[in-house]
Amino acid sequence: MDWSGPFGKVVEGVISFVWRHSVRHVTYIVRYKQSVLELKDSVKDLGYEKDKIDHQCDEEAVRNLNNIEGKVTEWNRKVSEIETKVEKFENDDGHKRARSINCYVIPYFWNRHRLGRQATKMEVDVKNLIDKSPKFDEISYRQNLTSNEATLSNFDFIEFDSTKSTMEKVMRQLEDSNVRMVGLYGRGGVGKSALIKEIARIARDKKLFNVVIKVEITINPDLQKIQEEIAYVLGLRLEGEGENVRADCLRRRLKKEKGNTLLILDDLWHKLDLNKLGIPIDDNDDNDDFSSDNKDPNHKGLKREKIIGGHKGCKILLTSREKRVLDVEMDVKPTFCVEQLDDKDALKLFQKLAGIHNVMPDSRQEIVKYCAGLPMAIVTVAKALRGKSELVWEAALGKLKKQELVGVQTYMDISVKMSYDHLENEEIKSIFLLCAQLGHQPLIMDLVKCCFGLGILEGVSSLWEARDKIKITIQKLKDSGLLLDGNSDIHFNMHDIVRDAALSIANKEKNVFTLRNGKLDDWPELSRCTSISLCNCDIIDELPLVNCSKLIFFQIDTNNPSLTIPEKFFVGMKNLKVLILTGFHLQRLPPSIKYLLKLRMLCLERCTLEDTLPIGELKKLRILSFFGSQLKNLPTELGCLDKLQLLDINDCSILETNIPPNILSGLKNLEELYIRKSLIKMLVEGEPNHGQNSFLSELKNLHQLKVLDLSIPCFSVFPNHLFFDKLKNYKIVVGDLEMFSVIGFKMIDKYETYRVLALQLSHDTSFHSQEDIKLLFKTVQSLLLGKVDDVVKVVNELNIDGFPDLKHLSITDSKAIKYVNSMELSNCVNVFTNLESLCLYNLKNLEMISYGPLTVASFSKLKSIKVNMCDQLVTLYSVYMVEFANSEESCEICKYNSYLDKFCASLETIEVSECETLKGIIQIPMNYDNVKFLKLQTLSFQSLPSFTCFYTEVEESCWPHPTKPQSENSSSEEDQKSDKAPPLFGELV
C-alpha cells in the first residue's frame, strides 16, 4: 500500500489526532507526581539563577557604578510572574484530590490531568527563563558622560515652600530662549549650591539641556583649572596650550555642542571675565567654523558637527553671596534671592537629618532656632545629635544658650563646633582641623602625608595603610556634614563657612594660626602656636626668631622671591614634625635645620636652592619632597635616611648630573618613589654616565616599594632585576613624553591610583629582553607602545593571558606589528575583556586588529576606536571569528547577530583617518536586519580614498564556521585562503 499517497496522509492525521487528544492527555495523568517534582526542581534552579543575577546586579550597580540593562529588568519581571503562578499552583486544592482516589474517581483523574498539564507547561516556561538568563556581559552598561556627576550629586535635597517659588522662577528663565544668564544670590550656608544642583537635575529630567556642567569658583579663581573642568565634561583636551588658545578652543567647542548646554558657575566673589575663559555669551559667530576648505566638494573629511547642525545655545547660571557681584559686576539679568528657611521648613529639615519621626518636644525645637534657618548649620547640628541621649541634647542646648549670651560665635561656628564635639575620637578631630588648614579642594594624598608626618594615625606604620585610613575618615566626616566631595577622586572639599568655623576652633583650642591670601603685618604670639600655615600671603616683616617649642606643623607658601629665612630660625622649633616651604629662592637652607631632630616630613617644593642640603641629621624623616624645585645636586646624605618611606623628586631640575653613589641603596623602608621628568632632564640618551646608571640600578634594593612614578629617556639606562611584581600602583614612562602627546596621550596625576605604562623603544632595543617590564603587563590598566619593531603579535608575545586589566591601549609608529591579537584555536582565551579605548597610529603593516578565534567576552567593553595611518587595513571590524562554544543559540547567524548587537551597543566613538586601503568599517551577515549604534556620539572619517561604504553584507553561504580547521589537503593557495576564517577587526590584505 502506498503510504505516501492521500490514504497515508489521512492515517497520519488520525494518529496525530489520537495522540493529541488521548495519549498525551493520559501522560499528564500518569506522570502527575513526577511532573510536580520536576517543576519544583526547575523552580529551585531558577531561584539559584535569580540569586546569581541579583548578586551581579548589586556588584555592577553599587561597586562599579554601572546601569542595569533593560533586558535584566524584564527577565526579573518574568521570573516574578512565574514565581507567582507556581505559588498559586502549589496552593491549589486539587492536589488533595489528585493524591487519593477514595470513592470519587472523576475528580481524581480530572485533577491529576489538570495539574499535571499545568506542571508540564510551567516547567517548560521555567527552563526557558533559565536558558535565557542574562549573561555577565549583558548585566550592565556605563552611562555616557554628560555632566560632572561628582559635583552635581544632591541625594539629600528636600524641597521647601520657602525655596520652591525661587526654583520655579529660575526654571522659567532657563526655559526662555531669550535669556542667556540667570543669577542666584544669598548669604553663605543658605543652600545656594544645593538649590542649583536640584535645578540642574530638573533641567536634565525635562531634557532642557544635553550637557550640564558645574564649576565651583573660589575667592582667587584659577582660570586654567576652570577651563579644564569645563573641557573634561565636553571631552575636550586643553593641556599644553596657552591661555588664549585654551579660551578659543573652549569657545568653539561650546558653540559646536549639538544641543543646549547649561554651565553653572557657583560662588562668585568678584567679576569673572567669561570672554577670557572662552565662554560664549552671544551667538553672532555661530557659523564661523565653516571654512571654505570644508565647503570644497572634493574635501574627503566627514565631520560629525557639520552633520548634526549648528549651535543651539549655552546658558549660564551664576551664584554669589553678593547681589552686587551679579547685578553690577557681571551684568546678570534677572537675579533671584535665596532666603533662609522659615521656622516650619527649618524644623522639617532638622527632624529628617536627626532621624526624628515624631513631634519634637519644645526643648528640642529650641535648638533648631539657634541654626537661624541656615541649612548648613542645621545639617551639622542635626547630624551631630542624631541618635544621642536626652542628656546630650540638654548639654548641647545649654552650650548654645551660653554661646548666645556671650555672643562670641556666629551661627555656623556654633553648629560646626557642636558637630566637632561629637566626633568619635581625638584622631578624627585632629584630621578634621587639618583638613581646614589645607585650603580649597586639597589633595587627599596631601592630607595623608601631613597626618603621617604628624604621627596622628594610631596603629598605622605604612603609607598604604595611611591612605586607607584617611579615605575612611574622610567618608565619616562627609557623613557628619563636615566635608564635601571634591571635583575628582583624588580631592575632597569643605564648605568655606565650615572651614572658617573649623579654623576658629583650631585657633581657640589648639593654638593653630592659619592665613591665606592675606597680608601679615602683625605676627601672633608664636610661642603658644602648635601650627602655623601661611599661604599666598604678603609678609610685611621678615620671619621672626622666637622660641616655638610647641610648634609641630609649619608651612609657608610664598611667591615672594626676596623672602629669606634667618640663619637661626629653626633653633626654637625642636618639636617640629612637619615643615613645608614652597616657592623660596635661597642660597642655602639655614644650618639651624639640623636642630629639627623630630622632623618626620620635609617638603621643599618649587624652591631654588643653590647649595647643598644639610639633611643628614634628620634621622626620623619619613617623607621628603623636592617636587618642582631646582637643586644644585641631590644631597649626598640622602642615603643615610633609613626610615624614609616617601621620596618625591618629580619635575626637579638638578644642575649637577653626576649623581653620588648609594643614594637609594640605604632607603630600605622606601614605599613610594616619584621621579617623573627629573631623570629625563639628567639622563641623555646615548650619553649615560656611571653615576646615573648606578642611581637607577639601586632601585633593585628597594624591596618595600609599592608605588613608583618614573620617567626615563630610553631603555638603555633601564636596570634589570627590579621588584616590579610587588608594585600596587605605578606610572612608568620610557621615551619621549612629547612624542606620545601626538596621539593624545596624557600622563595622569601621580597620586591617582592607576597603573600606567608608556613605552617607546629605540632601534637597538628588544622588548623580549625587558622581563621586568613584561611582568607589569599582567596588571597594567593604561598602555602605550611606541616604535615596537620586534613585536609582530602584541597579545601573543607580550601577555598571553590577554591583558585582563587593560582599559586603554595605544600603539604608535611600528613597522613590525601585524596583529594586536592573533590566537590559535587551541589556546583561544578572553582578550581585552576590560578594554574601553583602542588607538592605533602609524602602523604601516597592520593587517588585522584581531586574527583567530575570540571568546564573546573579548573586546566586549570597547567604547572608542581611533585608527590613523594604517595603510594595510581593508575592513575595520568583522564578526567572523567570534568563538561561540558556550552559546545557546542554535542558528549560526543568530549568534553573530547577538554578538554584533552587544558590540555595536557599547561603541561611543569611531574615528578613522588616512588609511589608504580601507574600504569599509564593519562586515555583517546578509540576514542581519539592522546595525544599531545606540551610544555612538562621535563619528569622524578623513582622507580615506578607497572608502566605499560604512558596512558590507556577507552571504550566509560565504560565512565560515569559526571553529572550522584549515584543510591539510588544500589543493591550491586559493583553497587555503578560503579555509582561513577572517578576523574580528580587519581583513587579510
The CB-side HSE value for 426 (13 A sphere, CA atoms) comes to 5
Residue 572 is classified by DSSP as: T
What was the pLDDT predicted at 555?
A: 94
N-to-C CA span, the chain: 62
Q: Which amino acid is at 319?
A: T
| Number of Cβ atoms within 10 Å of the Cβ of 10 | 10
H or E element at residue 348: helix 343-354
What was the pLDDT predicted at 161?
A: 76
**Do 313 and 166 lie in a common domain?**
yes
**Do 208 and 325 lie in a common domain?**
yes
Find the CATH number of the domain harbouring 210.
3.40.50.300
User: Of 732, 727, 736, 608, which Cα lies nearest the Cα of 683?
Assistant: 736
Find the CATH number of the domain harbouring 754.
3.80.10
**Do 805 and 953 lie in a common domain?**
yes
Find the CATH number of the domain harbouring 576.
3.80.10.10
What was the pLDDT predicted at 773?
A: 79
User: SS3 string of 98-162?
Assistant: HHCCCCCHHHHHHHHHHHHHHHHHHHHHHHHHHHCCCCHHHCEECCCCCECHHHHCCCCCCCCHH
222 in a structural domain: yes
726 in a structural domain: yes
Q: Within 820-891, where are the H helices?
A: none
**Do 612 and 637 lie in a common domain?**
no
Mapping DSSP to helix (H, G, I), strand (E, B) and coil, where does residue 757 land? strand
**Do 283 and 365 lie in a common domain?**
no
Which residues fall within 8 angstroms of residue 867, CB to CB, at 6 or more apart?
Answer: 839, 840, 841, 873, 876, 911, 912, 913, 915
What was the pLDDT predicted at 809?
A: 92
Backbone angles phi, psi at 606, to 5 degrees: 55, 40
Please report, for residues 350, 387, 421, the alpha-carbon distance to residue 384 in angstroms, rounded to integers and kept in the order given. Answer: 11, 9, 8
Distance in angstroms (rounded) separating the CA atoms of residues 912 and 840: 10
Domain count, the chain: 6
Going 884 to 887 to 888 to 894, the CA torsion angle's sign is negative
What was the pLDDT predicted at 956?
A: 52
- Is the pTM value of this prediction over 0.95? no
Dig out the grid coordinates for 198 from the structure. Answer: 536640584
**Do 925 and 942 lie in a common domain?**
yes
512 in a structural domain: no
Q: Which amino acid is at 876?
A: L
What was the pLDDT predicted at 599?
A: 96
**Do 327 and 414 lie in a common domain?**
no
**Do 639 and 739 lie in a common domain?**
yes
What was the pLDDT predicted at 136?
A: 59
781 near 754, Cβ under 8 Å?
yes
Domain boundary among 743, 767, 787: 787
Domain boundary among 110, 141, 172: 141
Kindly list the averaged pLDDT for each block of 10 residues, start to end, along the chain of length 989.
55 57 70 85 86 72 56 83 86 78 69 84 87 69 50 66 84 87 86 86 82 84 84 75 82 76 88 87 48 38 33 79 88 88 84 83 79 81 82 79 52 78 91 93 94 94 94 89 83 86 92 87 84 86 82 91 87 94 89 93 92 85 94 84 93 76 86 83 49 71 90 76 81 77 74 89 70 83 85 74 89 84 63 90 84 75 90 75 49 59 78 89 68 80 87 59 38 36 31
Domain boundary among 592, 620, 648: 620
Angle CA 857–858–863, to nearest 5? 100
| Number of Cβ atoms within 10 Å of the Cβ of 775 | 17
User: Of 912, 763, 764, 799, which Cα lies nearest the Cα of 846?
Assistant: 912
**Do 655 and 681 lie in a common domain?**
yes
| Number of Cβ atoms within 10 Å of the Cβ of 375 | 28
Print the domain residue range for 381: 357-422
Please report, for residues 21, 94, 122, 425, 490, the alpha-carbon distance to residue 109 in angstroms, rounded to integers and kept in the order given. Answer: 15, 10, 20, 74, 72
Going 451 to 455 to 460 to 463, the CA torsion angle's sign is positive
746 near 767, Cβ under 8 Å?
no
**Do 106 and 181 lie in a common domain?**
no
User: Of 521, 519, 552, 564, which Cα lies nearest the Cα of 538?
Assistant: 519
Backbone angles phi, psi at 784, to 5 degrees: -125, 125
Which residues fall within 8 angstroms of residue 113, CB to CB, at 6 or more apart?
Answer: 25, 28, 29, 32
What was the pLDDT predicted at 977?
A: 34
**Do 118 and 229 lie in a common domain?**
no
**Distance between alpha carbon 797 and the CA centroid of its chain, in Å?**
30
Which residues fall within 8 angstroms of residue 682, CB to CB, at 6 or more apart?
Answer: 654, 657, 659, 692
DSSP assignments along 351-420, one per residue: HHHHT--SPPPHHHHHHHHTTTT-HHHHHHHHHHHTT--HHHHHHHHHHHHHHHHHT-S-HHHHHHHHHH
169 near 336, Cβ under 8 Å?
yes
501 in a structural domain: no
**Do 136 and 157 lie in a common domain?**
no
What was the pLDDT predicted at 815?
A: 83
